[in-house]
Amino acid sequence: MMTIELELVELRARVARLESSVRRLENGGQKVAPPRPGEPLDQEQLLAWLKAEGLVVEPLPEMLAHAARWESLPEEEKEAHIRFMHSLVLDPPLSQIIIESRR
């Protein structure tokens, strides 16, 4: 089962890279210049660069529905869920899974 999970993580990473390439091709092959160290970017420039790199995408309708559902929850329920998520222990840690999937 662990092998399938690792393969799934790897496939997701490959799809993300391919989507980034497709976005660049859709933009006429233009690659947005990466930010220079120490040089602040305004929010629009930063967002354009993150989108070009495939790190930020426009939310899908399903994502918007999930967000609306979360926003509609009472604060007590949100806090209980957050506490529960913080109490989870991943074995192996997520960082180890990511490192293994990159090998």
- What's the confidence (pLDDT) of residue 29? 56
The domain containing residue 84 runs over which residues? 2-29+40-101
Residue 85 lies in a domain: yes
Residue 59 lies in a domain: yes
The pTM assigned to this predicted structure is: 0.47
Count of domains observed in the chain: 1
Of 99, 92, 91, 93, give the one whose Cα is nearest residue 10. Answer: 99
- What's the confidence (pLDDT) of residue 50? 83
Residue 35 lies in a domain: no
Residue 23 lies in a domain: yes
Residue 25 lies in a domain: yes
pLDDT tens per residue, the chain (103 residues)?
567 877 888 888 888 878 777 776 766 655 666 677 787 878 888 888 888 777 888 888 999 999 999 999 999 999 999 999 999 988 888 889 889 888 8
